[in-house]
Amino acid sequence: MRGEGVGVARTDSTGSTGSTWRYRWARRQNERRLRLFRSAEGTWRRRDDELRRLRSLAEQCHGSVGAGDGLPLELAPDEVVLRVVPAAQLVEVRHTAVLPAPDLTVGERTSRLRSRCPDGVRVADAGMAVITNRRLVLLGGRGRRDWAYGRMTGLAHDPHAPVTLIQVLDRRRTSGVLLRADAAHEFRFVLTLAFADAIEQRQAVITQLDELIAEHARLRPSRPGIATPGQARLSALIPGGRRTAVVAAALAVMVPLALANSGPSDRTGPELAAAAAPAAAASKTPRATGSPKPHRASPKPERRCGAPANPMGYDFCSGERIRKPPREVCDHFDCVPGFWDGRGYLVQCENGKVSLAGGSPRACGAHGGVRRTVWS
């Protein structure tokens, strides 16, 4: 069967589905689709594993009194230690700021945290952080700093640095802890569990994780369809594909228009002499003025506001949201992995890629967030 297929591909020069270039196009398309699918599948699996790990941790992390053995910390009768985090630093904010109230939201893991203090935050001490079911404690070289959950009025996790800032009723200055970047995410989750225990709402955290796991399961990338030689278009023969063909067509229209609008060249030589003779003979008669030559307006450039050239007319200016783009949209825009799994409208991410998950709080989550909407 393979020998017969190759023979047909070599002898067919009529542009049918047996053409050699069509087979090459189908192979490249299938390799590209499989590569994008595997990348999206890997990202999805990492997030799924992370959610399930947090779900298990929420059920099993109840702490113990023995976890605090050896620490210079006296526990209350009903107090247990949930986590001890070494290499923690006490930080203080130079300027007073109002922090959002503590909540039980399970934040998504931030891909890269900078291991340094944000602007306006200074390091005041260093030691270890202890999370109990009643308070967060930093045991430092200069002393101890406590943040009781019952007196906590504000809590904020920096999205770009491993810093957690806290406000309490009995302390004017905002303070918090700076951790290692690799320990910050789990520290924040355990702190959420501890705060939930203090207000007897741990089950709410578990329920939230169950909902996140179910929602994430619906976003699992589907295996792409197989491209066949019969689906190849003639634009695949042009270097650059459809985009090059569109640009060439635009140039073919605009260049003749630009030449037509440039006007005729200035008259010289015999033409000027012939024009001067009648002018001298008619010196006593009023000089007739020719009618002005109509000015042809130059074509206005296509309004795209930075969007790439595309036959669909999509731009970044204004218009209507795009919820069902055509299949060739990824030939003109750089689509994110798992693009067709999106259930929203078309948006551009901060890294330049486009996503079909507009309207979702997790749109462009792995690509720097949403930059702007793509309009039709």
Return the axis-axis angle of helices 20-60 and 181-198, rounded to nearest 10°: 50
Q: Which of 34-43, 102-111, 153-162, 282-291 has the lowest mean pLDDT?
A: 282-291
* Strand order across the beta sheet in which 370-373 lies: 354-358, 345-349, 370-373
Determine the Cα–Cα distance for residues 303 and 170; give it in Å rounded to an integer. 58
Q: Which of 28-37, 115-124, 144-153 has the lowest mean pLDDT?
A: 115-124
Split at pLDDT 50, 70, 90, the class of 109 is confident
Is 347 within 8 Å of 291 (Cβ atoms)?
Answer: no
Determine the Cα–Cα distance for residues 57 and 49; give it in Å rounded to an integer. 12
Cα Dmax for the chain = 121
What is the average per-residue pLDDT within 134-139? 95
Strand partners, 138: 129, 145
Q: Which residues contact 351 (CB under 8 A, 6 or more apart)?
A: 367, 368
Convert the pLDDT of each residue in 243-297 to its tens digit. 666 676 777 777 777 666 665 544 444 443 444 444 444 444 444 444 444 445 4
Is residue 327 pLDDT above 80, yes or no?
yes
Strand partners, 166: 155, 175
**DSSP classification of residue 321:** B
What is the average per-residue pLDDT within 28-32? 93
Strand partners, 348: 354, 372
Dihedral sign, Cα of residue 7, residue 10, residue 13, residue 16: positive
Going along the chain from its start, the domains and CATH numbers come out as 2-57+223-231 (no CATH), 66-198 (2.30.29.30), 233-246+302-376 (no CATH)
Determine the Cα–Cα distance for residues 229 and 227; give it in Å rounded to an integer. 7
Return the axis-axis angle of helices 202-218 and 181-198, rounded to nearest 10°: 130
pLDDT value of residue 13 = 41
Convert the pLDDT of each residue in 191-237 to its tens digit. 999 999 999 999 999 999 999 999 999 999 999 999 998 888 776 66
Determine the Cα–Cα distance for residues 328 and 145; give it in Å rounded to an integer. 59
Q: Which of 117-131, 183-197, 358-372 has the lowest mean pLDDT?
A: 358-372
pLDDT value of residue 302 = 62
Determine the Cα–Cα distance for residues 28 and 150; give it in Å rounded to an integer. 60
Determine the Cα–Cα distance for residues 271 and 195; give it in Å rounded to an integer. 94
pLDDT value of residue 7 = 40
Phi, psi of 165 (to 5 degrees): -105, 145
Phi, psi of 237 (to 5 degrees): -75, -20
Determine the Cα–Cα distance for residues 28 and 267; give it in Å rounded to an integer. 57
Convert the pLDDT of each residue in 158-168 to its tens digit. 888 999 999 99
Tokens found for residue 79: 């107090």
pLDDT value of residue 65 = 82
Q: For residue 361, how many other CB atoms are within 10 A of its CB?
A: 8
Percent of the chain with pLDDT over 70: 78
Split at pLDDT 50, 70, 90, the class of 35 is very high
Closest CA to 144 of 163, 121, 124: 124
Is residue 361 pLDDT above 90, yes or no?
no
pLDDT value of residue 256 = 72
Average pLDDT, the chain: 81
Is 113 within 8 Å of 157 (Cβ atoms)?
Answer: no
pLDDT value of residue 261 = 65
Residue reference for tokens 């030559």 = 293
Q: What is each CA distance from 186 to 19, 169, 189, 190, 252, in whole angstroms?
A: 56, 26, 5, 6, 59
pLDDT value of residue 242 = 62
Please give the model's pTM, rounded to 2 decimal places. Answer: 0.58
Is 346 within 8 Å of 373 (Cβ atoms)?
Answer: yes
User: Mapping DSSP to helix (H, G, I), strand (E, B) and coil, where does residue 59 land?
Assistant: helix
| DSSP-assigned states of every residue in 187-227 | HHHHHHHHHHHHTT-HHHHHHHHHHHHHHHHHTPPPPPPPP
